[in-house]
Amino acid sequence: MQDLFSVEGKVVLITGGSKGLGKMIAEAFVRSGSKVYITARHGAVVEQTAKELSKYGLCIGIENDISSKEGIDALVREIENKEDILDVLINNAATGWHEPFDNFPEKGWDKTFNLNIKAPFFLIQGLKPLLEKNKTKENPAKVINIASIDGLGVAFEDSYPYTASKAGLIHLTKSLANELAPNNIWVNCISPGAFASDMNIVARDNPDLLAAYVPTKNIGTMEDIGGTCIYLASRASNYTNGANFAVDGGWTAAAYGGIHPDKL
């Protein structure tokens, strides 16, 4: 039982790992003894985060933009050059685009879908040989897709492609869980609620305001998102495949928090 939740020594890749949720997840794995690669577009931020987290263990930063197939292929090659196997892939990188319905541009759809759902698919495809290498049913590789509670309901200020892409990522998780199980690769999903990040400015800048509408009366922390990821990456979740976890303090269970946009 002591090793049930252990991720010590596992090789982990986290996209969008330089800040926000990705950084929280990376810190949890680094502190737990994993060898962690983080990747994001802004090299200086990646380097700074890797340096900061390396105080707790081993964190390696890679500057990369996976919003294009070329970027995805480049990241796959870099990981292949550095590692013989990959134990855990966490698809966290995401973006959104807010604009009124009547003016919403095609480029907003393309940017959002390219990063939020196209990139996870092709990154899993490209890294499949490393993920399945030396894996067994008793010791499978783990893929964790980071969706959103916006994929479970309709946000008040709808970034149309964001909610659609996150709902799609939840469904893609189920599809790939079935597809990749014979290769000893388990695929699960997390739909986070209110966590302080650039994607959730209210939670970042006014946590008490938002927490008042969450049943648990708080916003999420590094331990909350990190702990769920560690469960899904460890032996503890070996009979969990194709699942989606709402890590939201009960937000979705309480009629989407009961928040009217005027209150925010």
Tens of pLDDT, residue by residue over 108-158, are 999 999 999 999 999 999 999 999 999 999 999 999 999 999 999 877 666
Residue of 162, 213, 231, 256 marked catalytic: 162
CATH code: domain 11-263 is: 3.40.50.720
What pLDDT is recorded for position 262?
Answer: 45
**What percentage of the chain reaches a pLDDT higher than 90?**
79
- What is d(CA 170, CA 76) in angstroms, rounded to the nearest whole number? 23
Dihedral of CA atoms 4, 10, 14, 18 in degrees, nearest 10, equals 100
Tens of pLDDT, residue by residue over 27-82, are 999 999 999 999 999 999 999 999 999 999 999 999 999 999 999 999 999 999 99
In the annotation, is 162 catalytic?
yes
Lowest mean pLDDT among 86-100, 150-164, 170-184, 197-211: 197-211
